[in-house]
Amino acid sequence: MSPTTTASPPSTGRTGDRIFSGLSKGAGIALLAIMAAIAVFLTARAVVAIRANEGNFLTTFEWNANADPPVFGIAVLLFGTVASSLIAMLLAVPVAVGIALFISHYAPRRLATPIGYVVDLLAAVPSIIYGLWGALFLVPRLTGLYEWLDQFFGWTGVLSYDGSPARSLMTVGILLAIMILPIITSVTREVFLQTPKANEEAALALGATRWEVVRMAVLPFGRSGVISASMLGLGRALGETMAVATVLSPAFLINLSLLESGGATFAQNIASQFKEAGSMGRDALIASGLVLFLLTLVVNGAARLIIARHKEYSGAAA
Amino acid sequence: MSDTDRTRNEPGPERRGGPPRPPEVAPENGGVAQEHDRAAHELAAVAPMVSGQSVPVHPETARPAEVPSETRVEEHQERVIITPPVRPPTMGLRRPRLPRWTPLGLAVGSLAFAVAVGLVAGLDSRVQWGLIAALVFVAANFALTAAVEGRRQAVDKLALSLIWTSFLVAVLPLASLVWETVARGIPTVSWDFLTHSMNGVLSWQQGGGIYHALLATLQQVALASLIAIPIGLLTAVYLVEYGRGSLARAITFFVDVMTGIPSIVAGLFVLTLWIMALDFGYSGFAGALALSILMMPIVVRATEEMLKLVPNELREAALALGVPKWRVILKVVLPTAIGGITTGVMLAIARIAGETAPILLLVFGSNLINANPFEGPQSSLPLFVYEQWGYGTEEAYDRAWAAALVLIVLIMILNLVARGVARWKAPKTGR
């Protein structure tokens, strides 16, 4: 009796095992294949566009991809994307670190959990709704602030303002900052919560105030977490489409004053020009999309590498 | 950790030849090292006092090496300057502290000041009044604390104000966003709005509805889920149960990177593959393909985390009974983690339901009801919002806000249900 029961199940099990592990491995490989396919297909179309391009793809300041011969370059897009994302980072990171500290170390516990929930919910608000709110609510309310900035800092040139509707890169940066706050906050909060309790209590026992505990125990421990969270946020900001497309009043020029309208970003340019684009126009947009893809790939990859190294480190310490 | 601290601290008194610890402080210190925050704060106030009265350097104020030396010097000077030579007996060993109602009093005072300034200077924006009040409050709080309790406490208060400010600064726009959407969306939302399409409604006319967009969004999201969930689940199973070596590491890394792909790039990819290379037309399915690319990494990540939480004892017990591995995974591992997996999948669905950019490129948009997602252009809720915004008339704005409200409600319901499932089915991790 025992030989039959032990003999038959393993054989079926092994076949099933082979099928199942093959399936799951196949799914994993499919994911890799999709990533590779994205790079390959975008590159293929981009090469067609860049070959036909009469201007310099990197330095030309115009986008006439539908003209004959096509002339286009990504200089303006690169400037607009990087400038608005950097503004967003400068505004969002300190505030996000503040909120993360508030949730992890300052708020009363009864308040901290619901706030954490709300922050996570806000991360789920679709970008088009941020865009709608930005265009119809935020833009009219920023002119006052911009006039004030112009009055005191207009001489820098970067912050001069001509009184036009505030649909500028600065507005986009502010909106993007609001949008990436939740993601930076939630990652940073997780890292801060992992600070070894013993370190904090040791500092408290030595007579440190709460801020000194944060400065000496929490922030040094969470530094790499903050950096990687910021880069995740930066990746979001670089690729954001709809919020920029609704708020920005695009113009294909580099306006050094960030408060005045004009400029364009990669994603916004694709969304706004797509419907009017002919076949060459599409290929040109795909070429700019490839640059955006590589940009976010680098930023996200770096962020993930930092997180991975941090994980190993903290795992070894614990 | 407390062991290392002890070894750091104990040699202190012997090396420096300080006096033995005062008996009334020592036990309190021991308690702090274990648990009590409150006691620690007491001590924070007490420690400098005690040493200030006896000798400058005292075991209680001895610090680990990472404290910059200038802090200690400042502290020392401050102690010498501020500590009065004779204390009233009721104060005991405590430093002078501001009464508990000080922040409230300061807040009222600075508000009154701001209102006065605002009225006198004729500032018409209430935002400016608020800013003045906030600045005055922070400055006054800092100065007062510095004068009474000392500089370190003042810096602590300053940090506290800044952290509260950052919290409020972040909450304000987000609250405004939700408020605007609800307040401007509700008047237009009605049963008619939910059950009619935009067929024949011009941009400056009232009426019309989102039925076509709602239907299309549900179809596209369902199709995307059908593609992404199996692949995502299987990939996560591979990573947790089978994956070893460089392939698993590569998949983990690229899943992470894939999470950050901009949605418009996913849209462009499907455009080149599906519409340009394979020559299909615009359709809801093309949009669903792009959405599934965005959804896969989220599903993988969430499932992977949940599968890792399943205790190994369960797997080992089942394997020890002679159950083949694939049946262990299907019958033991996945059912144990099903709550968390459901949550992750629903969050992923909520995430892609609001995507606009790939829909714009691949589904193209339509004012008519098209119930077939495989043929011809469709609409979608987020795309509907974008289109109506683009018309630029008040009537279209009303429709945009109303559609935005429906979209937000849909996504919030998905989120809340997902979190409910997570709480209800949370695996017991022994925390």
DSSP assignment of A179-195: HHHHHHHHHHHHHHHTS
- What token pair was written down for B70? 């200038």
- Give a yes or no: residue B226 inside a domain: yes
Q: Is there a domain that residue B279 lies in?
A: yes
Verify whether the Cβ–Cβ distance B162 to A240 is below 8 Å. Answer: no
**Interface mutation target, options B21, B257, B325, B399, chain A, most CBs of A under 10 Å:** B257
B169: distance to nearest CA of chain A, Å? 8
Torsion of CA B383, B385, B389, B393, to 10 degrees: 120
- Chain A contact probe: residue of B58, B171, B264 with most A CBs at under 10 A: B264
In a domain, B178, yes or no: yes
Distance from CA of A191 to the nearest CA of B (A): 16
All residues of chain A having their beta carbon less than 8 Å from the beta carbon of residue B293 are: 34, 38
Task: Based on the fold, state whether residues B60 and B109 are members of the same structural domain.
Answer: no
Chosen domain end from B132, B165, B182: B182
- pLDDT band (50, 70, 90) for residue A262: confident
The predicted pLDDT at position B20 comes to 45
Residues B400 and B278 occupy one common structural domain:
yes
Q: Are residues B286 and B407 in the same domain?
A: yes
Q: Is residue A221 part of a domain?
A: yes
Task: Count other C-beta atoms under 10 Å from residue B159's C-beta.
Answer: 19
Q: What is the pLDDT of residue B427?
A: 54
Domain count, chain A: 1
Lookup result for tokens 């480190």? A313
Q: Stretch A244-251: mean pLDDT, rounded? A: 87
Residues of B whose CB is below 8 A from A133: 176-177, 180-181
Tell me the β-bridge partners of A251. A263
pLDDT(B9) > 60: no
Q: Residues 266..305 of B with a Cβ closer than 8 Å to A: which?
A: 266, 268-269, 271-273, 276-277, 293, 296-297, 300
∠ Cα A306 A312 A317 (to 5°):
125
Task: Give residues 296 to 315 of A whose Cβ lies within 8 Å of B.
Answer: 296-297, 299-301, 303-304, 308
> Average pLDDT of A87-101?
91
Looking at residue A29, its pLDDT comes to 92
Domain-ending residue, one of B72, B91, B110: B91
Asked whether residue B204 is assigned to any structural domain, the reply reads no
**Residue A308 predicted with pLDDT over 90:** no
Contact B174, A178 (CB under 8 A): yes
Shared domain for B276 and B395, answered yes or no, is yes
**B240 and B370 part of one domain:** yes
Domain with residue B401: its CATH number is 1.10.3720.10
What is the average pLDDT score of chain A? 84
Which residue does chain A place closest to B350, by CA atoms? Answer: A124
What domain range is B131 assigned to? 102-182
What is the rounded distance in angstroms from the CA atom of residue B377 to the CA atom of residue B21?
81
The residue among A206, A221, A290 with the most chain B CBs within 10 A of its CB, best to mutate, is: A206
**Residue of chain B nearest A14, judged by CA positions:** B324
* Residue B143 scores a pLDDT above 70: yes
- Tell me the whole-structure pTM to 2 decimals: 0.79
Are B193 and B210 in contact by the 8 Å Cβ rule? The answer is: yes
Domain count, chain B: 3
Q: What CATH number did the domain enclosing A162 receive? A: 1.10.3720.10
In this predicted structure, what is the pLDDT of residue A1?
41
pLDDT 10s digits, B311-341: 889 889 999 998 888 888 888 888 888 888 8
Which range in B134-138, B279-283, B318-322, B363-367 is most confidently predicted, on average pLDDT? B318-322
The answer to whether B25 faces chain A, any CB pair under 8 Å, is: no
Residue A91 domain boundaries: 69-317
Residue B286 placed within a domain: yes
Same domain assignment for residues B286 and B332 = yes
Confidence of residue A85 (pLDDT cuts 50, 70, 90): very high
Question: Is residue B201 included in any domain, yes or no?
Answer: no
